[in-house]
């Protein structure tokens, strides 16, 4: 069965964006970019919630015209050619997405995991990740902690009724500043 890998950037104080929704603080150095690209190499489909999707779809189709950063230049062609699935109750279709899933999250994702292929990469966001976590559908959590305190914004993990037990399976420092932790369920 294919795995769902959750790849997310967070601040030291546990926010995935700033108080006004800003996402200008992650610094993609050479090592962090290589880590991100290695995760993408394991996958043949990218998964997004609506909020993250809107940011991705606004940037990656024309990314090279907006940035000459080596990670952007390498990842943009991959992003364009990789199938992308968006989960949203409000979007019905969107350019660049291969598919939009609007209902039966658990059933649809379970079906995706059972299909033949490489793993599935869920990037960023917290709402979709929380829903998938509730259904036990995320297999690996890769959390990049950046050296910034945002003082507010959306939390990495949305409040939940029950504890979520995770086991640290790997950790490393990238570019002498970002700590990546990899977790799996207990």
| C-alpha to C-alpha distances, 55 to 29, 48, 89, 155, 176, nearest whole angstrom | 20, 10, 17, 18, 27
112 half-sphere exposure, CB direction, 13 A CA radius: 29
H helical segments located in the chain: 30-41, 50-59, 63-66, 70-81, 105-114, 127-134
Q: Which of 105, 112, 64, 60 is nearest to 87 (CA)?
A: 105
Q: Please list the pLDDT of the chain residue by residue as tens digits (186 residues).
A: 999 999 999 999 999 999 999 999 999 999 999 999 999 999 999 999 999 999 999 999 999 999 999 999 999 999 999 999 999 999 888 899 999 999 999 999 999 999 999 999 999 999 999 999 999 999 999 999 999 999 999 999 999 999 999 999 999 999 999 999 999 988
Domain ranges of the chain: 4-19+28-152
| Class of domain 4-19+28-152 as given by CATH | alpha beta
pTM for the model: 0.96
Q: Do residues 119 and 2 make contact, with C-beta atoms less than 8 angstroms apart?
A: yes
SS3 content of the chain, % helix, strand, coil (to 5): 30, 30, 40
């Amino acid at each position: 069965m294919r795995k769902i890998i959750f790849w997310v950037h967070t601040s030291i104080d546990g926010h995935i964006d700033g108080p006004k929704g800003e996402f200008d603080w992650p610094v993609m150095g050479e090592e962090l970019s290589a880590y991100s690209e290695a995760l993408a190499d394991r996958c043949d489909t990218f998964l997004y919630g609506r909020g993250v999707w809107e940011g991705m779809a606004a940037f990656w189709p024309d990314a090279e015209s907006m940035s000459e950063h080596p990670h952007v230049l390498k990842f943009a062609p991959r992003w364009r050619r990789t199938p992308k699935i968006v989960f949203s109750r409000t979007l019905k279709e969107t350019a660049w997405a291969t598919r939009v899933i609007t209902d039966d999250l658990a059933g649809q994702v379970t079906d995706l995991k059972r299909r033949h292929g490489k793993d599935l990469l869920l990037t960023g966001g917290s709402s979709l990740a929380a829903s998938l976590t509730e259904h036990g559908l995320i297999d690996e959590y890769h959390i990049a902690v950046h050296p910034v305190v945002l003082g507010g914004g959306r939390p990495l993990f949305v409040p939940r009724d029950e504890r979520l037990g995770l086991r640290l399976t790997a950790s490393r420092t990238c570019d002498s500043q970002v700590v990546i932790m990899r977790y799996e369920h207990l």
